[in-house]
Amino acid sequence: MSSVTLQNVVKRFHKFTAVHQVNLEIPDGAFVTLLGPSGCGKTTNLRMIAGLLDPTEGEILIGGTRVNDVPIHKRNLGIVFQNYALFPHKTVAENVAFGLKYRDVPKAEIPARVQAALELVQLPHVGERYPKELSGGQQQRIALARAIVIEPDVLLLDEPLSALDANLREDMRVELKRIQEQIGVTTVFVTHDQSEALAMSDQIVVMSAGRIEQMGSPEEVYNNPASEFVANFLGASNMLPATCTANGPEGATLDVAPFGAVAIPAHKAERLTGQGPAQLVLRAEKLRVLHPGETGETMLTAPATVEAVDYQGQTVRYFLRLGERQLQAINMIDDRPFEQGAEVRIGFRAKDASALPTE
Binding site for ligand ADP (CB under 6 A): 13, 16, 18, 36, 38-44
Question: Which one of Mg ion, ligand ADP, none is in contact with 138 (Cβ closer than 5 to 8 A by kind)?
Answer: none
| Residue with smaller CB distance to Mg ion, 82 or 91 | 82
288-290 vs 343-348, strand pairing mode: antiparallel
Which residues contact Mg ion (rule: CB under 5 A)? 43
| Residue with smaller CB distance to Mg ion, 43 or 224 | 43
| Least gap, CB of 70 to Mg ion (angstroms) | 23
Q: What share of the chain is helix, strand, coil (3-state, %, to 5)?
A: 25, 40, 35
- 90 within 8 A of 118, measured Cβ to Cβ: no
| Residue with smaller CB distance to Mg ion, 82 or 227 | 82
Give me Rg for the CA atoms of the chain.
24
| Least gap, CB of 21 to ligand ADP (angstroms) | 15
| Residue with smaller CB distance to ligand ADP, 175 or 213 | 213
Extended beta strands in 209-248, E state = 211-216, 237-248
Residue nearest to Mg ion (CB): 43
Those residues with Cβ within 8 angstroms of residue 22's Cβ, 6 or more apart along the chain or in another chain = 6, 8, 9, 10, 41, 45, 58, 210, 211, 212
Question: Which one of ligand ADP, Mg ion, none is in contact with 13 (Cβ closer than 5 to 8 A by kind)?
Answer: ligand ADP
CA distance 17 to 209: 9
Q: What is the largest CA-CA distance in the chain?
A: 75
262: nearest Cα among 233, 282, 238, 288? 282
Question: Which one of ligand ADP, Mg ion, none is in contact with 113 (Cβ closer than 5 to 8 A by kind)?
Answer: none
| Least gap, CB of 211 to Mg ion (angstroms) | 16
Question: Which one of Mg ion, ligand ADP, none is in contact with 99 (Cβ closer than 5 to 8 A by kind)?
Answer: none
| Least gap, CB of 16 to ligand ADP (angstroms) | 6
